[in-house]
Every structure is written in C-alpha cells, then in structure tokens.
Structure 1
Amino acid sequence: MTMTLGKLSALFKLRIGFAITLCAAAGMAMTQGPALPAWKVSVLLLAVFLSSGAAGAFNQYAERDLDARMARTRRRPFVTGEFHAGPAWLAIILGILAFAVAAAAWALNVMSALYVFSGAFVYGVVYTVWLKQRTAWNIVVGGLAGSFAVLAGSAAVDPALSPAAIALAVVLFLWTPPHFWSLATVLHKDYAAANVPMLPVIVGDAKAARITLGHTIALVAVSVVPVVFGMGVIYLAGALAGGAYFVLKSVDLVRDPGPKAARANFLASFVQLGLLLTAAIVDRAVG
C-alpha cells in the first residue's frame, strides 16, 4: 500500500502540485476585491491542485517511451509496467482535469476555470507533446503553466485580473526556464543520451549558465513590480531576499557551469519562489 501511494504521488507529481497551488493562492491574495468564502477558496485550490496532478500524470503517460531512455525516469510506473498505460488511465487523467475545470467554473467563474484548464493544457500538450523533444525553447513556453495558476487565483476574485497578479504571472513565466535549465545542466548527459534538446545540451553548459543568469536577473526585477500596485514591505522583503539568493547562485553557476553549481541553483530557485509566494500571501493577510 505504501509503495502504491508513493507511486501515485510521483505519477501525479504532487510536490509540483503543491507549488502550483501556492501560486494560485498568491494570485488570489494579490487581487483586491471581496474576500472569497472559505469554501470557494478551497474549491479554487483543489481545482488547481487536481489540474496540476492531471497534467503531471499525462506528462508521464505521453512520455513513457522517452522516460524509458533516461536514468532519472526509467523507474516511473508507466515505464516499468506497474501501471498499464491504456485507455483507462487516460480516461482517469482526463476525468480529473474535467472535474477540476467544472468545479472552478461552478464555484468561481468561467475565466478562473479557463486559466485552470490552460495551465494543464500548456504543460500536458504544448510542452510535453509539442515542444519538449523538438526545440530548446520547450521550457520557455512551458513556463506559462505556472503563470496560469496565478491568473486562476486572481480571476477567482476579479475576472479582470489584478496588475500585481499579472506581474507575478510574468515572474512565474521567467522563473521556470532558469529553474529547469539548472536541472537540465545536472542531468546534461541523461538528456543528451535521450536526444532531448534542453538548452545546456544544445548550447553547452557555459552558455546556458549565462542565459540562466539573464533570466534570473529579469525575474527578480519583475518581482518587485507588484510593489507599485500596492504590495507592501513584507512582500518586498521576500522578493529581494529570495531574488538576491537566486542571483548569487546563478552567478556561481556562470563561474563554474557544472553539476554541483547547477544543483545549488536549482535548489535556490525553490527558495526564491517559496519566499516570494509566502511573502505575497502574508503581506495581504496582515496588511
């Protein structure tokens, strides 16, 4: 039972789901408007969490042949045969997504539901099926998936969206590439052997590190923009502290573009995002 639950957690990428759900909570917190009832907040967060899980499971369903060629992913259940990748699993995945979107439309509004769907569609179809094995721009476009979670949270309060939340959505769009390019540098040989055109594989680790630093600086610059639209000192402190740490580790990666520095930068991206989102929620809660 414990092993099955662990496999299901990995299949639906629940850790990523929690991060995506936090993005939605931050988008909601950064949007001025009437406070949502607790049950509507719960439906929003559940819808985003389920849609993220459905997208993660579809990613593994669609990529089972690719996963079999990579050391990091060859133990995934669709690869090993522990879960049979047949029509039943596809129906389950699509059913979860349909339920999530319908719940958001029913409890919140059509725009919030549209953003819930769009995040899953971008990750599951645009990134996974269309771009991942075709172009080094794959994760750049794929970064929209996290952005849509922020917009879903904002639209739940006001379908017209908050300028501060839109700025945060841009931050998420800029955050995903340096986050994933760092991981791709750690796994350079794995991606190269599987013929996946991740940026470090195409341009080399050194050039990829410089591009990563540029994206990191850009996202930190954009992360302070919400202060112009009413976010307070707590948010600014979180944005600057997390941003400074991420930039520092990205500079270290440029100086030493290898797996060790790349792993540190990958972890720094989580620190930056966690501080930013938490500061956004706390800032509004005490403001």
Structure 2
Amino acid sequence: MHTTMLKPAGRSAAQVARDVISLFKLRIGVLIMITALVGMAVTPGPAPSVAQALVLALSVLVASAAAGAFNQYVEHETDRLMKRTSRRAFVTGALPHHPAWLVMMAVLLAVAVAAAWWVLNAVAALHVFLGAFFYGVVYTLWLKRRTAMNIVIGGLAGSFAVLAGAAAVDPSLGPLPWLLALVLFLWTPPHFWSLAIANRADYAQAGVPMLPVVVGTERAARIVFLSTLALFLASLAPLAFGAGPLYGVGALLGGLHFVRKSWQLARRPERSTAMGSFFASLVQLSLLLLAASMDALLR
C-alpha cells in the first residue's frame, strides 16, 4: 500500500493511525466479539482452551473491523450528507478514498476466517465470514438504499457471531445458541430504529430509506415498541432450553427496562425519548450477555 495513501502530507503518523483505527468501528466490533464469546460460553461441550477463545475473539473482531471499514469506504458520499457521519476520515479527506483500502479489508477478512478455520473449525469460520458478509455486502451494498427492512436483514450480522462462538465448541449448534442468535436478530431493529428516529432528518437528507423516513416518526415509534416486546419474549425462551436463573434475572430486568423506554418513545416520539430507547437497548443487551456469561460460569 503506497505510503502517501497511509500518510497524507502534513499529517503525523499518530494522526493517521487514529484515522485508520476509526475506520474499523471498534465499539461495534467489541460488542460483536463479546456476543461470540458468550455464544462459546453458553454452549455445552468440552471447555475451549485459552488459545481457542483468543482466536475466536480476534477473528470475530478483525472480521467485524474489515466489514466496518468497507461500510465507511462504500458510504463516504452518503456520510458527507449526514451530521452524525460527516467527520469520518474518508469524508473529510483525512484518509484518501483509494481502492488499495479494499485490498487491506479483504486481507483482514481472509486472515480472520483462515485463523478461525485453522484453530477452531470450518463451521465457526463460516459464521465469522457470514457475519462480515451480511454487514458489508448484504446490508451496506444490497439493502441500505433499497428498503426500510435493511436493518432487519442486516441484523443477522450479530447473530452469526453468537453462532461462531457456539460452533467453536459444538459445530452441530444446539437450541440454546440458536435462541441467543434469534435474540440478537430481534435486538438490532429496535436498537437501530430508535437511533434512526433520533436522526431522521439526517437519513432523509441523505436519501436513505430508514424506517422513520419511510413510514414517519410516530408509526416507526410504535413499531419499535412492538419489536421490543417481541425481543423481550424471545429473550425469555432460553430459560426453557437450559439457561439458568441468573440469565432469567438479566433477561427480565434488561428487557423490562427496554420495554418501558420504548413505550415512552411510542407515547412521545421525539429525539429525547428515541435516545432513551436507544441507550436502553444497550443496557438490555449488556445485562443479557453478562447474565448469560455468569450463568454459564456457575453452571
């Protein structure tokens, strides 16, 4: 990769490094990595070694980073139209929008999938790949600008991380990891739609058909509430398939908190309640994952 692409004139190596790291959407990547580790923890079977857990974590994180960078590369024209994304490195020119970045992203994904295949197994590697593919290609390229259901199908990216972790222990994938993957699938729409309601003007200006742009804020808020109810009910289902009481407490507390905040959003669809619902979704998922992990450790 040409040095002028990585280090534009007048910028220090530290500044360029920060800009490159910003491409990878590491906050999202770390969350996805944690879901993979939880999938590994809750799956019955022989305890994975430290090396296997480390490879799982890094392969999911690196694959997610590659997909996040690809999203920013593809979205750089749309990102300049939205206040929330207008300071991204490809938008401002801090990093040149050069095709060589695609080579880096492909190499990162290939290394992540190969490491998972070598150290874990082919099924885990397949799910590592599918997570990145669904976010980078299915969501970003195929769906985001075409349908308000973009984030619903794109939400499968998080589900594949859970299945990658479970497959690392047992490639046959029993009911508990499938149910946790369903929870992740149902979590993504109300989480992201809450944020989309708060930033509806941005998406409308950029011409992105997010749900509140297509159906209006009030209807979108009601859909968020109904989606949160479905998520809450689904999050209780693992209790019938081996999840213990600690998991139940986490699912109940986090789920009820999210339901309450999404109900407030449905009653008053405005930015403040939308952000309240968005942050409640993070609390809900955090409690769920923490409770699932503790439950597995104490099993």
TM-score, normalised via structure 2 length:
0.94
The one of 156, 170, 175 equivalent to 1:163 is 175
Q: For 1:120-140, what per-residue CA distance to the aligned partner results, in whole angstroms no more than 9, with x for missing partners? A: 000000000110011101000
- Choose from 214, 218, 240 the match for 2:252: 240
Select the residue among 62, 66, 83 that pairs with 1:71: 83
Deviations 1:204-255 (A, max 9, x none): 1110011111111111111111111111111110000100000000000001
2:142 maps to amino acid: W
Q: What letter is aligned with 2:213?
A: V
Tell me the SS of whatever aligns to 1:224. Answer: helix
1:39 to 2:46 alignment: no
**1:1-287 superposed matches below 5 A:** 3-287=15-299
What SS does the corresponding residue of 1:84 show, helix, strand or coil?
coil
Give me the whole-angstrom Cα distance separating, in 1, the residues matched to 2:290 and 2:22: 24
- Change beyond 3 A, Cα 1:254–1:165: same
- Percentage identity across paired residues of the two chains: 56
Distance 1:153 1:228 in 2: 21
Specify the structure having the higher radius of gyration (Cα). Answer: 2
Q: How far apart are 1:3 and its partner, in Å? A: 3.9
Aligned length: 287
Q: Distance in 1 between matches of 2:121 and 2:233?
A: 32
Shift of 1:277: 0.7
Counterparts of 1:281 and 1:46, CA distance in 2:
18
4+ residue runs over 6 A deviation: none
State the alpha-carbon separation in 2 of the partners of residues 266 and 51 from structure 1: 25
Shift of 1:9: 3.2
Aligned pair in 2 of structure 1 residues 2, 273: CA closer, same or farther (>3 Å)? farther
Unpaired runs of 5+ in structure 1?
A: none
- Give 1:5 shift: 4.2
Which amino acid is the alignment partner of residue 134 of structure 2? V
Q: Distance in 1 between matches of 2:30 and 2:48?
A: 20
Q: Is the 8 A contact 1:30 1:162 kept in 2?
A: no
TM-score (norm 1): 0.98
RMSD: 1.0
Partner amino acid, structure 1, of 2:294: V
Residue deviations 1:79-123, cap 9 Å, x none?
111112212211111110000000000000001000000000000
In the alignment, the residues of structure 2 paired with residue 149 and residue 85 of structure 1 have an alpha-carbon distance, to the nearest angstrom, of 29
Question: What is the CA deviation profile of residues 22-54 of structure 1, one whole-angstrom value per residue up to 9, with x for unaligned ones?
Answer: 110111111100001110110001000101111
Q: Answer whether contact 1:24 1:45 (CA < 8 A) is retained.
A: yes
Q: What letter corresponds to residue 250 of structure 1 in structure 2?
A: S
Runs (5+) with no aligned partner, structure 2: 1-12
Q: Does 2-11 or 126-135 show the bigger shift?
A: 2-11
SS in 2 for 1:72: helix
Q: Distance in 2 between matches of 1:10 and 1:216?
A: 30
Partner of 1:181: helix, strand, or coil? helix
Shift of 1:2: 5.2
